[in-house]
């Protein structure tokens, strides 16, 4: 996307070695794609926890809101406070469970909305907010089969009545979370949906149904938005341009927003028989030219990709050699002429003819793309690109 000589406003000190590029236009495009699946009255929550899956929470949140997101989702109170301090005013749900009065008071002060999963937790909230002038809006989460956070769906009425009886709290939302929405076999997802519907019906019969409901994550929204959107959907991975499963890739035209790039720092020739990197896990079968690249596992490049990783250089795939080290990795550039120190290597991203995605890495490692996106360390500066302009995130006045 960017070359150093095209970006005079970006600090050479921060970006001379390696960086992550975030295409905010792609984030906005992805939000608009999801909005096409939803009714105009359905809210879209942009899930920006974990620093927006490593993309930069504040910048991504602003872009998502401008494109049509109406809520933000985070995992912790500090994540929510960061968004409020940046001036973002839309409702923010904290999806993690809180158990300390200090956290509860901070949440109320910054007008964040909590997830309640047990009566004990609700009592902590009620005690911490006993002097509050207005009740705090809360989301009741039911466990319909995820076996993670959530109260037993069969006892939903009991829990909602208990929380409704606490003067400091107001139950405004009811939700749950799918465990298998990204699988082609929808049996378990349908079972969870039925349980959620059963809880809704019982609450409605007793006139205790909260005003708003939400259930669908990215995968469920892509699978069956008409029947699963309720009053809001929570879009995480899809916001960043990746599909949660191969069979869902064709539903929307999603654009990956993240690219990882680094510079060649050294080029050298090695003789046949030379070992490359720690442990000599690669031995040169003939004389070779190798390029040293300034990025390694301390930046989030998995060491398990050693001798498996391919990168893009000069619009072609190039093989990585030997063990990936803390700060550097090596490439076989024997067949490429004219390379020089400072040339850019793309580890995740696209060239004119090719593309490498977080899904490619995840498949090789036997993991998921969520983990890959969240793994890039903050030693790698984030460069935000939008409407052909770029800036460091977060901005550092001393470096701009």
In a domain, 394, yes or no: no
Strand partners, 73: 47, 93
How far CA 51 is from CA of 61, 120, 262, 297, 309, in Å, comes to: 10, 30, 21, 20, 26
Is residue 39 in a domain? yes
Q: Last residue of some domain: 213, 240, 267?
A: 240
Co-location of 53 and 191 in the same domain: yes
CA 267 to chain CA centroid, Å, is 35
Please indicate, yes or no, if residue 249 is contained in any of the structural domains.
no
The confidence band for 395, taking pLDDT boundaries of 50, 70 and 90, is low
Structural domain that includes position 98:
24-240
User: How does pLDDT run across 152-189, given as a tens digit for each residue?
Assistant: 999 999 999 999 999 999 999 999 999 999 999 999 99
Nearest by Cα to 233 from 36, 9, 26: 36
Exposure b/e, 63-94, CB count within 10 A at least 16 = b = bbbebbbebbbbbbbebbbbbeeeebeebbbb
Residue that has been written with the tokens 């700060």 in this structure: 327
**Residue 73 covered by a domain:** yes
300 and 180: one domain?
A: no
Residue 175: active-site member: no
Do 200 and 337 reside in the same domain of the chain? no
* In a domain? residue 120: yes
In a domain, 101, yes or no: yes
Q: Exposure of 23 by Cβ count < 10 A (0-12 exposed, 13-18 middle, 19+ buried)? A: buried
Mean pLDDT confidence for 50-74:
98
Find tokens 């050693």 and name the residue. 306
Domain count, the chain: 2
**Residue 323 and residue 286 share a domain:** yes
Examine the residue annotation and report whether 49 is marked as an active-site residue of this protein: yes
Q: What is the pLDDT of residue 3?
A: 44
Do 296 and 203 belong to one domain?
Answer: no
DSSP state of 135: P
- Cβ atoms within 10 Å of 40's Cβ, excluding its own: 5
Spatial separation of the C-alpha atoms in residues 209 and 205, rounded to whole Å: 8
Look up the CATH number of the domain holding residue 329: 2.40.37.10
Strand partners, 331: 291, 320
Virtual torsion, Cα 154, 98, 124, 131, nearest 10 deg: -120
Give the Cα separation of 23 and 278 in Å (integer). Answer: 35
Instruction: Provide the token pair at 389.
Output: 């302009």
Res. 16: pLDDT tops 90? no
Selecting among 49, 53, 141, 261, the annotated active-site residue is 49
The rounded distance, in Å, linking the Cα atoms of 216 and 175 is: 9
For the residues 190-201, what does the mean pLDDT come to?
A: 98
- Distance separating alpha carbons of residues 271 and 284, to the nearest angstrom: 7
- Which is more confident, 399 or 379? 379
Tens digits of per-residue pLDDT, 291-314? Answer: 999 999 999 999 999 999 999 999
Q: Are residues 95 and 231 in the same domain?
A: yes
Query: Which of 182, 212, 240 is a domain's end point?
Result: 240
Q: Give yes or no for residue 5 having a pLDDT over 70.
A: no
Q: Summarize pLDDT for 350-363 with one digit per residue, the tens.
A: 999 999 999 999 99
Q: What is the pLDDT of residue 133?
A: 84
Report if residue 378 sits inside a domain.
Answer: no
Coil/strand/helix, residue 162: helix
Q: What is the CATH number of the domain that holds 192?
A: 3.20.20.10
234 and 262 in a common domain: no
Residue 113: name the closest of 152, 69, 155, 169 by CA. Answer: 169
Which strand (E) or helix (H) includes residue 43? strand 43-47
Candidates 39, 204, 269, 278; catalytic one: 278
Nearest of 282, 353, 365, 288 to residue 317 by alpha carbon? 353
Instruction: Give Cα 111 distance to the centre of its chain.
Output: 23
| Binding residue numbers for substrate | 148, 326
Q: Which two tokens stand for residue 122?
A: 């609700």
pLDDT class of 12 with cuts at 50, 70, 90? low
Task: Report the pLDDT value the prediction gives residue 387, as an integer from 0 to 100.
Answer: 80
Residue 307 is encoded by which pair of tokens?
Answer: 């001798």
pLDDT confidence bin for 13, thresholds 50/70/90: low
- Please, which residues have CB within 8 angstroms of residue 342's CB and are 6 or more apart in sequence? 4, 263, 264
Instruction: Give exposure, 299-326, as e/b (b: 16+ Cβ within 10 Å).
Output: bbbbeebbeebbbbbeeeebebbbbbbe
| pTM for the full predicted model | 0.93
pLDDT tens per residue, range 80-127: 999 999 999 999 999 999 999 999 999 999 999 999 999 999 999 999
Which of 214, 240, 266 terminates a domain? The answer is 240
- Whether pLDDT at 8 is above 50: no
**343 and 292 inside one domain:** yes
Judge contact between 92 and 112, C-beta under 8 A. Answer: yes
| Same structural domain, 200 and 288 | no
Are residue 182 and residue 37 in the same domain, yes or no?
Answer: yes
What is the CB neighbour count within 10 angstroms for residue 42? 18
At which residue do the structure tokens 């105009």 appear?
A: 40
- The reply to whether 126 and 263 lie within a common domain is no
Q: Are residues 196 and 100 in the same domain?
A: yes
- Evaluate whether residue 166 is within a structural domain: yes
Return the H-helix or E-strand segment holding 73: strand 71-74
């Amino acid at each position: 996307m960017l070359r150093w000589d095209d970006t005079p406003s970006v600090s050479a000190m921060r970006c001379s070695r390696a960086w992550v590029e975030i295409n905010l236009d792609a984030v906005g495009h992805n939000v608009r794609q999801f909005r096409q699946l939803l009714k105009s009255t359905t809210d879209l929550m942009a899930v920006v926890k974990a620093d927006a899956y490593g993309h930069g929470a504040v910048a991504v949140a602003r872009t998502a809101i401008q494109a049509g997101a109406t809520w933000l989702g985070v995992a912790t109170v500090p994540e929510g406070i960061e968004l409020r301090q940046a001036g973002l005013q839309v409702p923010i749900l904290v999806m993690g469970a809180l158990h300390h009065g200090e956290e509860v008071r901070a949440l109320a002060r910054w007008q964040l909305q909590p997830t309640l999963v047990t009566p004990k937790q609700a009592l902590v909230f009620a005690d911490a907010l006993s002097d509050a002038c207005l009740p705090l809006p809360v989301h009741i989460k039911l466990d319909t089969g995820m076996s993670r956070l959530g109260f037993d769906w069969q006892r939903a009425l009991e829990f909602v009545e208990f929380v409704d009886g606490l003067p400091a709290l107001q139950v405004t939302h009811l939700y749950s979370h799918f465990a298998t929405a990204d699988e082609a076999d929808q049996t378990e997802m349908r079972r969870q949906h039925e349980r959620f519907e059963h809880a809704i019906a019982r609450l409605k019969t007793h006139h205790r149904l909260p005003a708003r409901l939400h259930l669908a994550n990215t995968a469920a929204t892509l699978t069956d938005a008409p029947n699963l959107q309720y009053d809001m959907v929570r879009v995480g991975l899809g916001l960043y341009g990746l599909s949660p499963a191969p069979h869902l890739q064709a539903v929307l035209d999603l654009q990956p927003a993240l690219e990882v790039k680094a510079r060649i720092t050294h080029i050298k020739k090695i003789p046949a028989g030379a070992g490359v990197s720690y442990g000599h896990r690669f031995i040169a079968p003939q004389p070779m030219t190798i390029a040293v690249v300034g990025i390694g596992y301390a930046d989030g490049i998995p060491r398990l990709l050693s001798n498996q990783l391919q990168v893009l250089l000069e619009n072609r795939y190039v093989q990585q050699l030997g063990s990936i080290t803390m700060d550097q990795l090596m490439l076989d550039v024997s067949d490429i002429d004219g390379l020089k120190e400072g040339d850019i290597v793309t580890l995740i991203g696209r060239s004119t003819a090719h593309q490498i995605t977080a899904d490619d890495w995840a498949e090789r490692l036997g993991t998921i793309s969520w983990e890959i996106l969240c793994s890039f360390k903050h030693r790698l500066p984030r460069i935000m690109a939008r409407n052909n302009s770029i800036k460091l995130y977060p901005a550092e006045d001393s470096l701009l």
